Structure 1
């Protein structure tokens, strides 16, 4: 099973990207998780750009989404909302209909961001019939360094939480 973890951050040393990278190393057997961390490289969505050959970064994202059995999305909040780069990526994917039946769940790397999470849940419920509100994993990792994030997520309690989350998501992807 292939899971694509999408980081909604364009920042090079993103807490969300780091969290997803660490979590990807804890995938259960027979599950592989790859991390998409190129949100900032996507051109601004325009239906005009869909008429011809898609820009390579967009084609790459679409290919990765199409090849995955499910998506984990983790994003910071910017000004209490969804970052523009993540919303832009979703706009590109919606136009291709790749998200309509794709199982999706959220992770979050902060104790705050409720307004963004609510807005993101609304968007994901709109674009996918298989977005799950029930499966959600949150950590308070702000403002830890990448090494500290790895250490925090590697505690026995957090490893257990991560493994249960990933096993539950893999089951959701298999069963529909």
Structure 2
């Protein structure tokens, strides 16, 4: 059984990125357990002086979750052509740790318009030494959809199949690594 950690880069209650992550978790193949991390809104701002024995409890929990995971899936919105600060902060807490080194990661997308954030996030994660799976990116267009519409789109048979296939392809990538 693979343990995959899924992170939405959005803190919004009605986030389409969070909805996509939740749907991925619900539709994962039987041999994959997807855990959703939703604590990055509670993380203190990264400060290298607070590492080691001084690492805040919230940050230590995230570091442990990334360390224990066999792989990480991230769905991220774009704010002002960039990665949201909360997600960047969560990644910053991983920088001086070994948790990210060689850790398989996959980016999924809830909008076709987040091209700058995609490129920036991929660059950040590659720089941190995540092993980025980029073979078959999953994108389900949810931008601007209300929660009821988002739920209906994510429940469509073709999208359920696409999500299952994306997670299975990522699982295969993890096993091959």
Shorter-normalised TM-score: what interval?
over 0.9
Structure 1 unpaired stretches of 5+: none
Cα RMSD for the two superposed structures: 1.3
Shift of 1:129: 4.9
What's the counterpart of residue 141 of structure 1? 142
Distance 2:76 2:64 in 1: 21
Question: Residue deviations 1:67-124, cap 9 Å, x none?
Answer: 1100001111110101111111111112212101100010011120101111111111
Aligned structure 1 segments of 4 or more residues deviating by more than 6 angstroms? none
Superposition pairs of residues 27-176 of structure 1, within 5 angstroms:
27-176=28-177
Gaps in structure 2 of 5+ consecutive residues:
none
Maintained 8 Å contact 2:105/2:130: no
How far apart are residue 158 of structure 1 and its match? Answer: 0.9
TM-score normalised over the length of structure 2: 0.94
After TM superposition, the score normalised by the length of structure 1 is: 0.94
Number of equivalent positions: 176
| Cα shift readout 1:18-51 (whole Å, capped 9, x = no counterpart) | 1101110001012110111222111111110114
For the residue of structure 1 that corresponds to 2:111, the secondary structure is coil
